[in-house]
Every structure is written in C-alpha cells, then in structure tokens.
Structure 1
Amino acid sequence: MLEELRTLVLFAEEGSIQNVARRLPLTQPAVTRQIQRLEEMLGTTLLDRRQKPPRLTAAGSEVLARAKHILASVQALKAFAADAEPQGVLRVGLAHGLSDASVAGAIAGAAAAFPKLSLRLKTGWSAELIEQFERGQLDAAIVLRPADRQCSDALGIERLCIVEAGGTETHLADAGTHMSWVLSPEPCDARQKLLSSLGGERHRLVVAAEIQDPAMQMEWVRRGHGLGLMPLRLAARGLPDGLALVDIEDLDLSLQVVALRSPHLNRLANAADAIAKAVGEAIKIET
C-alpha cells in the first residue's frame, strides 16, 4: 500500500497522471492502476474522473492528508533504524571473578564512547548470569567457563593463581589435603575450577572461611587463615603486602572468558561488542 499512497501524494503535487508517470517513472496506465488499487483497498473513490484532468474527491483529500502522515512516519522509522549510534538501555552481566578495577575501567571506557547508551551492569556467578541471559533478562553476559571447552565467542583465558601468607612455603601436594582455604561461596567459578583441578573430591577441601569480597579474602589469607585464589593477571601487577605465590607446578587453573550476546541487540550490538573487546584486552597478562 505504501507505493499506492506515494502515487496519490505525487498526483496531488503534479495534478495529472501524465506528470506522475514521468516522475516515477512509470507508464500512465501503471499509475492509473495504482490509484485504482488504492481505491479498491480503501473501498472509496479518490478521484473525480468527470473532470478533466481528474481532481481529488472529498474522501481523496482526507486520504491524502493521512497518506502524508503515514509516509512521514515510515521515513522517520527508517531513519531511526538506520541510525548507527547505539542508544537505549543495555543490560550486561559480568562474572564476579572479573569484577575488579581494571575490568571495570575497561568497561567504563568502552561505554563512554556511546553517549546515548544507558548501561545496566550486574555482577553474579556465571551459572546465574547464563540462566538470566537465556531468560532474556540480560542483553549480554561476560562469564567464565571451563577452558577445555572451545567457544567461538571466547574473549581470552583467565588464569588463576594460589596465594598464601608470606613465608608459609606451602607444598602443592598438601594444598588439597592438609591446608585450609579462604574462598568465595558456591557457586564461585574459581572455586569450582579449583575443586575440579584437585580431583573434584569436595571433602578433601577444608574451607576455613567463605568470603565473597576479594580484598577481605586476601586479608584473611595474609593473616594465615588459609590459601586463597586470585587472577594471575592481578598478581603479576604486584601482590598485596604479606602475600606470596604458591608454586602450582602443572596444576591447570585456567578459565575461559566468554561473551554471550543476544541476537536481537540491533543498534546496541556495536556497544556490546566494544564492551566485550575491552574486557578481552583487560584480562591479558602484561609481559
């Protein structure tokens, strides 16, 4: 119907079928058929053909006014859809294990490039965020997954390290049997990876304290309450005073950082991609 409405508007501007045919360009019979189709669709007569050249009827004038409004709305809608600048609310989930200052700064920097974007950033355990993403409660999620499962949307690898109070000199062989741990509550991604790497026998892991806040965890470790986990990229920039790295030998404590994106992001896709890319850069270990 849009083409027929455009033809009616052109007829009102040009005043004759011949001039409309020249502007489109179409043959005069084709223009006439478009007007007739519109009359059939609307069930009314738009042109008074008793006059030479034909003139709009009263109904035709009313339809013309509405046609202009419809066509203007369609044009505005096209302009809205074609606007490349992301705008609106973007709901992003971020795994707790990635919610440190460097990643936060990277996300803030990426989001700042889109002034019309309103970011809703939520942290949580990966399993929870994946469930919320699948229910449509998040537009994107950056989560941690086992590194042995290859994902096409992987951003990089998050390598974990074990830390202890300075001077403790823990042997890795004793880490699972005799040593206590200071860990985040279940279902912490790092904790699950540790359990898996140690053989998955939960009863062998002695948890002295469950603390979600990373800074408080490290303080408990520094005071000698047990071993702790932290991203190797953060340890590489300098351990807090009173902490030391445990030599984990060949123990694999790697997790894959994966970006999940809704297929319905439309214009927000550019912003989601920029945030994911920034996180990928932030988790790289500086060499």
Structure 2
Amino acid sequence: MIEELRTLVLFAEEGSIQKVAQRLPLTQPAVTRQLQRLENLLGTTLLDRRQKPPRLTSAGWEVLLRARDILTSVEALKSFAAEAEPQGVLRLGLTHGLSDASVADAIADVAAAFPKVSLRLRTAWSAELADQFERGQFDMAIVLRAPDYEGPGRLGIERLSVIAQAGGTQRRLEAGSPMPWVLSPEPCDARQRLLSVMGSDGRRRLVVAAEIQDPAMQMEWVRRGHGLGLMPSRLAARGIPYGLALADAGDLDLSMQVVALRSPHLNRLAKVADAIAQAVGKVIAVTG
C-alpha cells in the first residue's frame, strides 16, 4: 500500500495523472491502476472523475492527510536504517542481448560484494522485460532502446557488428540486393534494430535464412555460409571466432542504448542497483 499512498500524495502535488507518471516514472495507465487499487483497498472513492482533470473527494483529502503522516514515518524509519548493510531480494531482469560472459562477470562481482542480498536474475527480450517491470515483477531491468532514446537510466551504447563467413562472397551489404541473415527469433532487440534500419533505408530487404536462439549456433550457421549474423562490437573486438570475419555494413547504424529501469522504491537495495548499473556501464564502455 505504501507505493499507492506515495502515488496519491504525488497526485495531490501535481494535480494530474500525466505529471505523476513523469515523476515516478510510470505510464499513465499504471498510475491510474495504482490509484484504483488504493480505492479498492480502502473501500472508498478518492478521486472525483466527473471533473477534468480529476480532483480529490472529501474522503480523498482525509486519506491524503493520513498518507503524508504514514510516509513521513516510513522515511524516518528508512533514515534510521540508511547506514545498514543492504539485504533482501533484488529481482533483476537482463535482456538476452547482454547476457554474455563479460556482463555476467560484472553482475556476479557486484552480487559477491553484497552477501546479504539474494539476486533473482531472469533474462528475456527488452519488450517483455519492460512490460514485466511496469507490472512490478522486477526491481530493476537492463534493456536495450533505440539510439535516440533520451530518457533516464542510460548506461551506454551497445554497437553491433555484422559477421560473415570468412572468405565468403557476402562481405558487403549491397543496396537493392537481398541478403540472407541468421538471426534470433522475434522480438530480438538486435533483429528489430536491423529491421528498423534496413526498412528506413528503402534499398535493402531483410531476408531471414534461419532463426536460431543460441548465439553459438548462430555463428556456426554463419560460418557455414547460410547468411550474415550480428555480434556485439565489444565482443567482436576481442576476436572473431574461427571461420568468421567482419562484414562491411556500410552506413547502417546498428547501435542501441543500454538503459537501466529502476523501481523508485528500492530503499537500501538502491546501493546494489547503483553498483550493478555502474558495472554494466563499464562493460559497455569498453567499445563505446
């Protein structure tokens, strides 16, 4: 209920659901659901929705006064325990595109530094992670966004390199010539970025020769000449696997923003989230 009470206080301060959504940050429907959930929990109507924008009812004002007292007490309790070692469960979502050994090592090092914190790590594609984060299933989610993303939580740029069969003929992306690709199934972040760039180009057409989830198996298909593949440039800089080579991607901008979505209610676990964000940012910055 604490989150719902905070949302009510923010609504009283801002006067609109849109402004509350910008401050949290949440979507407007998510803010609306929080307020409705508080009404259901208390069994009373807090907002007069006949007015545009909605206004607090008389019951809403009474609940607001008590909500401020409750939140003040909660903040005092948090201050009392502020210096204590973080402990508890941190639910972390990590996009498949970043679930490689270097990122795993960075997160594992952070986890080792906070022995009283139990990490619950799950990987999925960014769209799924963002949806689950919005529904409160994660405390933190590290996802990929478009390169022009300007919102909060930016950790760095993840660039992609095009990989081809060594000595093969598919070493350059020619305009107007359909090129076969070996890609992860939808909604793969790299695949969506590639589709977006090639679609906006208007001269290239995306042809999927094979859909393979496992990165190692993708590279094997590319090595056998079935199509082009994608690999993070930070990994390619460490060495291209045998039988593969970098392809000339021309002017294709295959970059994405790495973004950390964080709950505004992490409390002491915020130290752990800060450390994870910093560690992942350093890994990304290697070739950023």
The residue that corresponds to 1:60 in the other structure is none
The equivalences for 1:19-58 within 5 A come to none
Report how many residues are paired: 212
In the TM superposition, 1:82-231 aligns within 5 A as 82-170=82-170, 172-174=172-174, 177-199=177-199, 204-231=205-232
- Cα distance in 2 between the residues matched to 1:176 and 1:96: 31
Q: 1:235 to 1:173 in 2, by over 3 A?
A: closer
User: Normalization by structure 2: what TM-score?
Assistant: 0.69
Match of 1:239 in 2: 240
**Cα distance, 1:163 vs. partner?**
0.3
Distance 1:114 1:163 in 2: 38
Gaps of 5+ in 2: 1-73
- Deviation, 1:95, is 0.5
Q: For 1:82, what is the secondary structure of its paired residue?
A: coil
Deviation at 1:128, TM superposition (A): 0.3
**Structure 1: gaps spanning 5 or more residues:** 1-73
Q: After superposition, what is the alpha-carbon deviation per residue over 1:233-252, rounded to whole angstroms, capped at 9, x for unaligned? A: 00000010000001112210
Q: Which amino acid aligns with 1:110?
A: V
- Check 1:158–1:78 CA distance in 2 against 1; reply closer, same or farther (3 A cut): closer
Q: Pairwise CA RMSD of aligned residues? A: 2.3
Residue 218 of structure 1: CA displacement?
A: 0.5
Displacement of 1:231: 0.2
Describe the shift of the 1:113–1:136 C-alpha distance in structure 2 as closer, same or farther (beyond 3 A).
same
Check whether the contact 1:169–1:246 (CA below 8 A) recurs between aligned residues.
no
- Residue by residue, what CA displacement relative to the aligned partner does 1:23-78 show, whole Å, maximum 9, x if unpaired? xxxxxxxxxxxxxxxxxxxxxxxxxxxxxxxxxxxxxxxxxxxxxxxxxxx9xx67
* TM-score (norm. length: structure 1): 0.69
Q: Distance in 2 between matches of 1:249 and 1:114?
A: 45
> More deviation in 87-96 or 244-253?
244-253
Number of the residue aligned with 2:257: 256
Provide the identity percentage. Answer: 72
Q: Distance in 2 between matches of 1:193 and 1:281?
A: 23
How far apart are residue 171 of structure 1 and its match?
A: 5.1
1: distance between equivalents of 2:212 and 2:189?
A: 14
- Deviation by residue 1:120-151 (Cα, 9 ceiling, x = unmatched): 01100000000000000000000000011223
Amino acid at match of 1:218: M
| 8 Å contact from structure 1 (residues 236, 285) kept in 2 | no
Deviations 1:181-239 (A, max 9, x none): 100000000000001111257x9321111111111111111111110001000000001
Cα distance in 2 between the residues matched to 1:193 and 1:120: 28
Q: Which residue identity does 2:161 align to in structure 1?
A: C
